[in-house]
Amino acid sequence: MTSKERVRITLARNAADRVPVNYEANPGIDRRLKEHFGLTADDDEGLRRALGVDFRSVEAVYRGPRLHQDIPERGIKVDNMGIHCRWIEHESGGYWDYCDFPLKDADEETVANWSMPDADQYDFSEVRRHCQHYREYAVSLLCYGDLINGNGMLRGMEQTLIDLITDNPAGLLLADRRFGFQMEIARRTLEAARGGIDILWLGEDLGLQDRPMISMDIFKKHVRPRYQKLVDLGKAFGARVMIHTCGSSSWAYEDFIEMGIDAVDTLQPEAKDMAPAYLKNTFGGRLAFHGCISTAGAVAFGTPQDVAAYCRQTLAIMMPGGGYCFAPTHALQDNSPTENVVVMYETARKHGIY
């Protein structure tokens, strides 16, 4: 089978020739893996081929002006949505952390006038060619939506949650502006791809480690209606729809099924009601799964033997009947030993065969 065929069959909750494989990693471990395989630092495609990754992605390219400026004297990077980030070092690397939250105290008028990119300033002309280039792979388009996390980057997490509880018009307007922009970009990209995109990939962080982040009432009032539009968009273009949800999020999966979502991503096994056996027994055959390989367990802290045993155990639970894609629960972290990640993917290739 080609990777495209393999993933399509799996997302239809059936068994292919082997379990599809995916990859995401932070810069430090990504660099070390490329060095391990004798690749140059910019050879992303070479690394994916070395690991046997079945997924690729496409996106339109922004050609418009810079809308928000960095703040170099404070070491702050600012993206085109106006999100502020600062670099935080830790013992195994570092990451860009959100800060400042420039719309935290903004009223409705300020949010309405906040500079955001325009879909007319994106170039969609190469989308079809890139889909053709990756025609043997499952091609995905990211359109996260990301109501809570995305709004939180601009208003702060506390204010964002207050917005949802109190129906704050400024916070809800920000969500609608962000969703509208993303949906228009996705629509034009799907049109340009002319059937070449297999997966519309959404995302919303709905859970803490031990409980939901929001109530079901808030989910049904504010989250589900906005995502239903994105799901319907993907389906209109013949794409499967997958949603990324961190933490304890299986409480929303029955709604996902009703909405027409095909697959769920991340699947942090340490979180409440997210263990592989629980997910397979409760939702197997109704949802496909992508993830489950913890980035906070054996891959980061175990031996290569521990990693092999852990991955084999997860495969044994998730593989029967099909519907499982082998992937880390999120980006592989820089504290993961190179040999552990190599063994992780070797185990998937060796023991992920039907």
pLDDT digits (tens, 9 = 90+) for 44-55: 999 999 999 999
Domain limits at 31?
Answer: 3-66+103-351
Give domain status of residue 96, yes or no: no
Give the residue carrying structure tokens 């300020």: 110
Q: What is the pLDDT of residue 203?
A: 97
Give domain status of residue 249, yes or no: yes
Q: How far is CA 289 from CA 19, 42, 191, 227, 353, in A?
A: 11, 30, 27, 19, 17
pLDDT at 139 over 90: yes
CATH no. for residue 209? 3.20.20.210
* Helix H or strand E encompassing 264: strand 263-266
Q: How far apart are CA 194 and CA 56, in angstroms?
A: 17
Contact 129, 59 (CB under 8 A): no
Largest CA distance in the chain: 58
Give domain status of residue 80, yes or no: no
Instruction: Identify the CA nearest to 199 among candidates 230, 224, 222, 245.
Output: 230
Q: What is the pLDDT of residue 346?
A: 98
Q: What is the pLDDT of residue 93?
A: 86
As for how many domains the chain has, the answer is 1
In terms of DSSP bridges, do strands 122-123 and 61-62 run parallel, antiparallel, or are they unpaired? Answer: antiparallel
Q: What is the pLDDT of residue 54?
A: 98
3-state secondary structure of 7: helix
pLDDT at 92 over 90: no
Give domain status of residue 94, yes or no: no
Average pLDDT over residues 206-229: 98
Give domain status of residue 78, yes or no: no
Query: Beta-carbon neighbour count of residue 310 at 10 Å?
Result: 21
Q: How far apart are CA 253 and CA 151, in angstroms?
A: 22
Q: What is the pLDDT of residue 125?
A: 98
3-state secondary structure of 156: coil
Give domain status of residue 215, yes or no: yes
Q: Considering the chain, what percentage of its residues have pLDDT values greater than 70?
A: 100
Average pLDDT over residues 201-207: 96
Q: What tokens were used for 59?
A: 């996106």
Q: Considering the chain, what percentage of its residues have pLDDT values greater than 90?
A: 98
Spell out a b/e string for 22-36, using b for 16 or more CB atoms within 10 Å of the CB, else e. Answer: bbebbebbbbbbbee
Q: What is the pLDDT of residue 200?
A: 98
pLDDT digits (tens, 9 = 90+) for 249-276: 999 999 999 999 999 999 999 999 999 9
Q: How far apart are CA 129 and CA 296, in angstroms?
A: 38
Give domain status of residue 91, yes or no: no
pLDDT digits (tens, 9 = 90+) for 310-348: 999 999 999 999 999 999 999 999 999 999 999 999 999
Average pLDDT over residues 65-86: 97
pLDDT at 212 over 90: yes
